Structure 1
Amino acid sequence: MFQSFDTEGDRAAGPGRLAALRQAMAEAGLSAFIVPRADAHQGEYVAPRDARLQWLTGFTGSAGIAAITADEAAIFVDGRYTVQVSQQVEPLFDPRPFPAERPSGWLADRLTDGDVLGFDPWLHTRTEIDQLCEAVGDGVELRPLTKNPLDRIWTDQPEPPSGAVRSFPEEIAGMSRQEKIDQICETLAKSGEAQAVITLPDSLCWLLNIRGSDVPRNPVAHGFAIIDRDTRSVSLFMEPEKLDGAGTDLTALPPSALIAALANLSGPVRVDRDTAPVLLSTTLEDAGIPVSWGADPCILPKARKTPAEIKATHEAHQRDAAVMCRFLHWLDTQRDAIADGATLTEIDVVTRLEEMRRDTGLLRDISFDTIAGTGPHAAMPHYRVTHESNRQIAPNDLLLVDSGGQYEDGTTDITRTVAMGTPTDEQINAFTRVLKGMIDLSRTRWPKGLSGADLDPLARAALWRAGLDYDHGTGHGVGVALSVHEGPQRISRVSRVPLEPGMILSNEPGYYREGDFGIRIENLVVVVPAHDLPHADPDREMLAFDTLTWAPIDRRLIDINALSRGQRAWIDAYHGAIASQMTGRVPAEVAHWLGQVCAPLET
């Protein structure tokens, strides 16, 4: 089994742990302390050792931060976790809506001149600390701590991860390790920088053509690297024993050697102020070494997939599509049984889908903990079933399943919402509006230079016309056999990164009625040149999305009359491609079923 259903935040322990933390804060002379859901690598997913926010509060979401004073505590989460945080966290941790409210402002309202705000300099970036400094003012001391007070009271804190590292095939990567290093060194030369510090695990794995196992669901390895422009080489800081299976041409120094190595650089050194621990830049500054603030130089090259990566990920998605078609066929066979009183739970659904992916013989892991929410649970965008929350599927529920796989040749992520009985008019209306947004985004063509913020309204327009919306981004970047959430590309109101050919993103509008039902439809797409515009201005480069994900959409939830002619044509073509592509990849009974559910919509 890949997924455990027992990992739940310890809500009941929160008050005692908060009291112990406050005692440790008092002993350290701190007026306030901040606890992020972060590690030294600023990854979305953290190893058990770094799950400090979950240990303190019980909150298991993938983003959040707590601010603690002697008599108040707040936890800041975004709209994905509004319901979840209230269920998992004791009221003494006051839930606050992020980013409408930020920890910096909350602390500024509570701290006065002479107070001391403590922070762990491994867990915060320079951007975060600068924002805190500006908010609380010169009278409040921001004190970097050599020992995290929470780690002092977490007596059974797990050891740091030590997962094995393996080589990643160059034929999938499309570039050798040295070719990537040379590319980054050219970037540094153009910027007048002598070195760059790499702290993001997926950047490290991309650069060195390796994959790791330090974080569940993400094939990354924890470590740091210094790229030297003149020698065109990389100094790797990672526990050497991790590399036993990665070949003989890769060596490493232990991470404890990083700080001393930084102090001996010539500079200027590129440091990403949004992702690197603030301790790294202060170390350089204290040593008199020039710091050049700039984005991690691997981020954009990693996002622009090579032709080899795109070819490989197409195959991974075809393989995963066959799994999803088998799964959706199985789910369809359960509808009548549920109506007759059979028991099917969320855990049953997760277990069956994971079994089907494992049956491919090529699955390395799931790409995130499978979301299978029925009825009101589907209204929580990042719901994760446990033995305690496991809900039986009722005859007329909507079931939302968001899942994906990690294969050697690609990372998948797909969401389908299925009617397990007869849907209501309200559910059909909402689903159709979500579908219209997904289709319109899939069909769009746009001039090169636009960002995800420019395209985001296309996915929301049909919902907006009815006064509806959703509180998460429309799309995130996705890696190739790497992180299922990858930057910098996004489709959201705040993303200003231009979309470029080779970038893979999700297309996943949704709608959530708290306590009732939730809807999300998600495909992955890759940015490609738009060659299907015969009357386009020859001097204006246009881009488009090429779909990677292939699995039928539940036609029982579609109001056909609400679709435009172009939208109906898109879904008929999409379903026709599924039926054609899956021939020979799925059993005969599944192929027969696909012929029915992928038939053209009636008009």
Structure 2
Amino acid sequence: MSTHEDRLHALRAQLSRQSLDGFVVPLTDEHLSEYVGGYAQRLAWLTGFLGSAGSAVVLPEEAAIFTDGRYTLQVRDQVDGAHWQFESVPQTSVATWLGVHAPAGGRIGYDPWLHTRRWVEEATRALASKGATLVAVDHNPVDAVWDDRPDPSKARLVPHDERHAGQSSAAKRADMADWMKAQDVDATVLTALDSIAWTFNVRGADVTHTPVALAYALLHADGKAQLFVDPAKIDADVRAHLGNSVDVLDRVAFTDVLAGLAGKAVAVDPDRAVSAIFEALDKAGALIKPLRDPAVLPKAVKNQTEIAGHKSAQARDGAAMAKFLHWLSIEGPKGGQTEISVSDRLQAFREETGALVDLSFDTISGSGPNGAIVHYKASEATNRPVEAGSLLLVDSGGQYRDGTTDITRTMAIGTPTQEMCHRFTLVLKGHIALACARFPAGTRGSQLDVLARQFLWAEGLDYAHGTGHGVGSFLSVHEGPQRIATFGGGDEPLQPGMILSNEPGYYKTGEYGIRIENLVLVVESGTGENDRPFYAFETLSHTPIDSALIAVDALTPAERAWVDAYHARTLEIIGPQLDGEELAWLQAACAPLSADWQGSQAACRR
């Protein structure tokens, strides 16, 4: 089918054949993953939208696509507004929209392997007001009309060595067995791919940029486990690594094993397991206990081995970033570079480390107005030149066996305007305020989010994304449960060992985007009154911040001191990895602001 309009027509015809009056198409897979394999990219195939979060609803006469504030511009660029309504979440939910738009008495289909039970209950209630019903389908109608749908990846699993993991899989499973006994459950279902990879100390290549394998797992209170995965993906080394306490079964046997849990108390995470799993356990006669996946928190709280590995990866990645920025400082002003050529050159610098396994996500390389598209991905159709007088926003990261990196820098190509410098400095002040936060145990990310936004808010400005997300250890670049945001999460108390991003931004539609992102580690910071523990952030990323964009007279002495100390630390860690012109560039880029701040401010043009 050559066009997305053709695909929409084909889906509507298929819905008629399946006696449905509508269908919901989420961007996820049967593991509720954020990033999915090609076989699960149903939303992109149907609509053309290439973001990493969204949903669509197709009715006989209407169709709507739902995205959050990160994709407000992108979805309108990629999806035909003649055929799709654009809806923003969380202002509007799929369920709420269905409650208004679904035909009276209609049958709205959904794939129970792609939705949580909570969503099913919410949508069912919303449809009831129209006398409509939500119908679970046995066969996804999108798959029925997607003729060239790719097969799931056949990539093999690989062991994740304990020298990187810091703890054996057996020890992790023993801890989970103790947790199950305390919760009085016989077994726990694991469906989140990063939880399975972490628990069994294995990695895969089934999802682009995320080293996970398509699998399910069932853990038992006696410490034994069953791993459900395509047998072709397991070799003798992996079997030996898993040990005798782990039975490897075909992935297709998962539901059959669930059917044999009659009378067993089974823990299932309602936020990470799809509705179909709950239905299978209900049908089997199991006692379901809705408890959080026991891998989630220990995975988020990095052990000392993982922290050391992450710092090693950051130092390596920081050197690649410094080489890239040196190259850009020479080639950018010359002209002839594009968003894609810049992205490719940065990847090459990372590859030259000899340790890069993959990027941690598709590099966001946005020049001028494309930088205002928060999760922009350059294509041949959108590829802009890197031009003098513009800002270039580059958000990128690498997957290394010892750690996952994620960093954003915004660079002035030529001389920036005063407005660019002013707003960059507001973002920088927010970044510094969060980096310097000290907070008591029990503090949630939602309580810290305002620190990064306060200076923008004071001038009537803001950004439509969270300020910080968790980061995995050679796993997902977006990892929960920790988050710094006032919406869509941020309720998990922060603990020492958690790694998060610190990434406030500002985006002027049609002109430029600004984001400054470092990764930070939650660390202990003494005690307060009544011996209450206090925590702080240790900044892990080491890459110069473009001083040409800093309106230094808008910084307080403490903020200026933070920048100088950050650059001194960057020079200390990255400098020994460079030499010649690259080292000289780094030394200049890390020079104290106090030495030439009047010059940098004067460089901002009106």
Q: TM-score, normalised by structure 2?
A: 0.95
Cα 1:557–1:225 change in 2 (3 A) is: same
Contact 2:441 2:534 in 1 (8 A): yes
- Give the SS at the match of 1:296: coil
Is the counterpart of residue 418 in structure 1 residue 408 in structure 2? no
Contact 2:21 2:103 in 1 (8 A): no
**Structure 2 match to 1:137:** 128
Q: Which range moves more in the overlay, 264-273 or 121-130?
A: 264-273
Contact 2:503 2:517 in 1 (8 A): yes
4+ runs deviating over 4 angstroms: none
**Structure 2 match to 1:545:** 537
**Counterparts of residues 173-572 of structure 1 (less than 5 Å):** 173-229=165-221, 231-244=222-235, 245-250=237-242, 251-265=247-261, 266-338=263-335, 343-494=336-487, 495-531=490-526, 536-537=528-529, 539-572=531-564
**Structure 2 match to 1:168:** 160
1:195 counterpart letter in structure 2: A
Q: How far apart are 1:445 and its partner, in Å?
A: 0.2
Contact 1:49 1:160 in 2 (8 A): yes
Deviations 1:208-246 (A, max 9, x none): 0000010110000110000111x2111110011212152
- Give the SS at the match of 2:427: helix
Q: How far apart are 1:588 and its partner, in Å?
A: 2.5
Alpha-carbon RMSD: 1.3
Q: How far apart are 1:134 and its partner, in Å?
A: 1.9
**Structure 2 match to 1:84:** 74
Count of equivalent residues: 585
Work out the CA distance in 2 between the residues paired with 1:415 and 1:525: 13
**Structure 2 match to 1:14:** 4
**Structure 2 match to 1:6:** none
1:141 counterpart letter in structure 2: T
Deviations 1:369-390 (A, max 9, x none): 1111100000001110111111
**Structure 2 match to 1:61:** 51
Contact 1:235 1:252 in 2 (8 A): yes
Work out the CA distance in 1 between the residues paired with 2:248 and 2:286: 23
Q: How far apart are 1:122 and its partner, in Å?
A: 0.7
Q: How far apart are 1:595 and its partner, in Å?
A: 1.5
Q: How far apart are 1:335 and its partner, in Å?
A: 4.1
Contact 1:412 1:484 in 2 (8 A): yes
**Structure 1 match to 2:588:** 596
Deviations 1:392-425 (A, max 9, x none): 1111110000000000100000000000011111
**Structure 2 match to 1:128:** 119
Contact 1:239 1:252 in 2 (8 A): no
- Give the SS at the match of 1:101: coil
Contact 1:212 1:220 in 2 (8 A): yes
Cα 1:144–1:335 change in 2 (3 A) is: closer
Q: How far apart are 1:538 and its partner, in Å?
A: 5.5
Contact 1:121 1:277 in 2 (8 A): yes
- Give the SS at the match of 1:193: coil
Amino-acid identity (%): 45
Contact 1:239 1:255 in 2 (8 A): yes
Q: What are the ranges of 5 or more consecutive residues in structure 1 without an aligned counterpart?
A: 1-9
Q: How far apart are 1:334 and its partner, in Å?
A: 2.1
Q: How far apart are 1:184 and its partner, in Å?
A: 1.2
2:52 counterpart letter in structure 1: S
Work out the CA distance in 2 between the residues paired with 1:159 and 1:595: 50
Q: How far apart are 1:247 and its partner, in Å?
A: 4.2
Q: Which range moves more in the overlay, 168-177 or 111-120?
A: 111-120
Contact 1:167 1:247 in 2 (8 A): no
2:299 counterpart letter in structure 1: K
Deviations 1:450-499 (A, max 9, x none): 11100000000010011000000001100010010111110000311101
Q: How far apart are 1:189 and its partner, in Å?
A: 1.6
- Give the SS at the match of 2:469: strand
1:309 counterpart letter in structure 2: E
Q: How far apart are 1:356 and its partner, in Å?
A: 0.5
Work out the CA distance in 2 between the residues paired with 1:349 and 1:112: 49
2:500 counterpart letter in structure 1: L
